[in-house]
Amino acid sequence: MLQVLQELSSGHTVVREVPAPAAAHGALLIETRRSLISAGTERMLVEFGRGSLLQKARQQPEKVAQVIDKARTDGIVATLGAVRSRLEEPVPLGYCNVGVVLEVGPGVSGFAVGDRVVSNGAHAQIVSAPRNLCARVPDNVSDDAAAFTVLGAVALQGMRLAEPALGERFVVIGLGLVGQLAVQLLRAAGCRVLGIDPDRRKVETARGFGADIIAVDYSDDVERTAAAFSEGRGVDGVLLAAATGSSEPLALGARMCRKRGRLVLVGVTGLELNRDDFYRKELTFQVSCSYGPGRYDPDYEQGGRDYPLGFVRWTEQRNLAAVLDMLSLGRLGVGPLISHRFEFASAPAAYELLASASEASLGILLEYPLLSAAARRDSTVVVDEAAAAPARSSAEPAAVFVGAGNYAGRVLLPAFAASGVRLAGIASRGGLSAAHCARKFGCAVAGSDPQAMIAASDASIVVIATRHDSHASLALLALAAGRHVFVEKPLALTQPEIDALAAAATAPRGAARRLLMVGFNRRFAPHVARMKTLLEAVREPKSIVITVNAGAIPEDHWLHDPQTGGGRLVGEACHFVDLARFLVGEPIVDAGVRVLGRGNARRADDFSITLGFADGSWGAIHYLANGHRRYPKERVEVFCAGRILQLDNYRRLRGYGWPRFTRMGTWRQDKGQRACVAAFVGAVRAGAPAPIALEELLEVSRVVVELGERARA
pLDDT digits (tens, 9 = 90+) for 295-352: 999 889 988 999 999 999 999 999 999 999 999 999 999 999 999 999 999 999 999 9
243 occurs within a structural domain: yes
What pLDDT does 509 receive? 64
* 55 within 8 A of 331, measured Cβ to Cβ: no
Collect all residues with Cβ–Cβ distance below 8 Å to 429 and sequence separation of at least 6.
21, 22, 24, 448, 450, 466
Q: Do both 623 and 528 map to the same domain?
A: yes
Question: What's the 3-state SS for 59-105?
Answer: HCHHHHHHHHHHHHHHCHHHHHHHHHHHHHCEEECCCCEEEEEEEEC
Specify the range with the lowest mean pLDDT, choosing from 36-40, 216-220, 517-521, 537-541: 216-220
Q: Do both 259 and 395 map to the same domain?
A: no
What pLDDT does 556 receive? 80
Q: Do both 437 and 326 map to the same domain?
A: no
**pLDDT beyond 70 at 50:** no
Burial of 280 (0-12, 13-18, 19+ CB in 10 A): exposed
Q: Do both 42 and 69 map to the same domain?
A: yes
Q: Do both 162 and 259 map to the same domain?
A: yes
What pLDDT does 88 receive? 67
**pLDDT beyond 90 at 566:** yes
Q: Do both 138 and 206 map to the same domain?
A: no
At which of 367, 387, 415 does a domain end?
367
Collect all residues with Cβ–Cβ distance below 8 Å to 158 and sequence separation of at least 6.
178, 182, 239, 241, 264, 265, 266, 288
292 occurs within a structural domain: no
Measured between alpha carbons, how far is 570 from 575 in angstroms, rounded to an integer?
A: 9
Per-residue b/e over 639-649, b at no fewer than 16 CB within 10 Å?
ebeebebbbbb
Q: Do both 386 and 443 map to the same domain?
A: yes
**Closest C-alpha to 341, from 571, 556, 142:** 142
Q: Which residues pair with 37 in a beta bridge?
A: 364
Q: Establish how many alpha carbons lie within 13 A of residue 697's alpha carbon, considering only the half-sphere containing its beta carbon.
A: 25
Query: How do beta strands 634-640 and 643-648 pair?
Result: antiparallel
Measured between alpha carbons, how far is 256 from 250 in angstroms, rounded to an integer?
A: 10
Measured between alpha carbons, how far is 424 from 680 in angstroms, rounded to an integer?
A: 17
Name the region of 100 (left: φ>0; alpha: ψ -120 to 50; beta: rest). beta
Q: Establish how many alpha carbons lie within 13 A of residue 540's alpha carbon, considering only the half-sphere containing its beta carbon.
A: 9
What pLDDT does 24 receive? 85
Specify the range with the lowest mean pLDDT, choosing from 393-397, 560-564, 577-581: 393-397
What pLDDT does 309 receive? 94
At which of 519, 551, 568 does a domain end?
519
Express each pLDDT in 634-675 by its tens digit.
Answer: 999 999 999 999 999 999 999 999 999 999 998 889 999 999
**pLDDT beyond 90 at 58:** no
pTM, two decimals, is: 0.85
Q: Do both 558 and 703 map to the same domain?
A: yes
Q: Establish how many alpha carbons lie within 13 A of residue 488's alpha carbon, considering only the half-sphere containing its beta carbon.
A: 25
Look up the domain containing 501 and give its range: 379-519
327 occurs within a structural domain: yes
Express each pLDDT in 419-470 by its tens digit.
Answer: 999 999 999 988 899 999 999 998 989 999 988 889 877 899 999 999 999 9
Q: Letter for the amino acid at 518? A: V
At which of 287, 309, 342 does a domain end?
287
Q: Do both 274 and 159 map to the same domain?
A: yes
Confidence of residue 61 (pLDDT cuts 50, 70, 90): low
373 occurs within a structural domain: no
Measure the N-to-C terminal CA separation of the chain; round to a whole number of Å: 47
276 occurs within a structural domain: yes
Rg (CA), the chain: 29
545 occurs within a structural domain: yes
Q: Establish how many alpha carbons lie within 13 A of residue 220's alpha carbon, considering only the half-sphere containing its beta carbon.
A: 0
Measured between alpha carbons, how far is 616 from 586 in angstroms, rounded to an integer?
A: 9
Residue 571 sits in a domain whose CATH number is 3.30.360.10
Collect all residues with Cβ–Cβ distance below 8 Å to 422 and sequence separation of at least 6.
387, 392, 396, 397, 398, 399, 459
What pLDDT does 380 receive? 80
The torsion angles phi and psi of 697, rounded to 5 degrees, stand at -60, -45
Collect all residues with Cβ–Cβ distance below 8 Å to 539 and sequence separation of at least 6.
none
Residue 228 sits in a domain whose CATH number is 3.40.50.720
Q: How distant is the alpha carbon of residue 54 from its chain centre?
A: 24
Long-range CB contacts for residues 208-213, cutoff 8 Å, separation at least 24: 208/336, 209/180, 209/183, 209/184, 209/333, 209/336, 210/183, 210/184, 211/172, 211/183, 211/187
Measured between alpha carbons, how far is 214 from 195 in angstroms, rounded to an integer?
A: 5
What pLDDT does 652 receive? 95
Measured between alpha carbons, how far is 74 from 410 in angstroms, rounded to an integer?
A: 15
Q: Do both 511 and 632 map to the same domain?
A: no
Query: How do beta strands 235-240 and 338-343 pair?
Result: unpaired
Confidence of residue 356 (pLDDT cuts 50, 70, 90): confident
* 531 within 8 A of 653, measured Cβ to Cβ: yes
Burial of 200 (0-12, 13-18, 19+ CB in 10 A): exposed
**pLDDT beyond 50 at 690:** yes
The residue with greater pLDDT, 136 or 359, is 136
293 occurs within a structural domain: no
Confidence of residue 391 (pLDDT cuts 50, 70, 90): very low
Measured between alpha carbons, how far is 92 from 128 in angstroms, rounded to an integer?
A: 13
Region 142-147 average pLDDT? 98
Region 254-278 average pLDDT? 92
**pLDDT beyond 70 at 685:** yes
Region 383-388 average pLDDT? 59
- Number of domains comprising the chain: 4
Q: Do both 135 and 191 map to the same domain?
A: no
Q: Do both 397 and 484 map to the same domain?
A: yes
680 occurs within a structural domain: no
Express each pLDDT in 177-202 by its tens digit.
Answer: 999 999 999 999 999 999 999 999 99
Query: How do beta strands 422-427 and 363-367 pair?
Result: unpaired
Residue 490, preceding peptide bond in cis (omega within 30° of 0):
yes
**pLDDT beyond 90 at 416:** yes
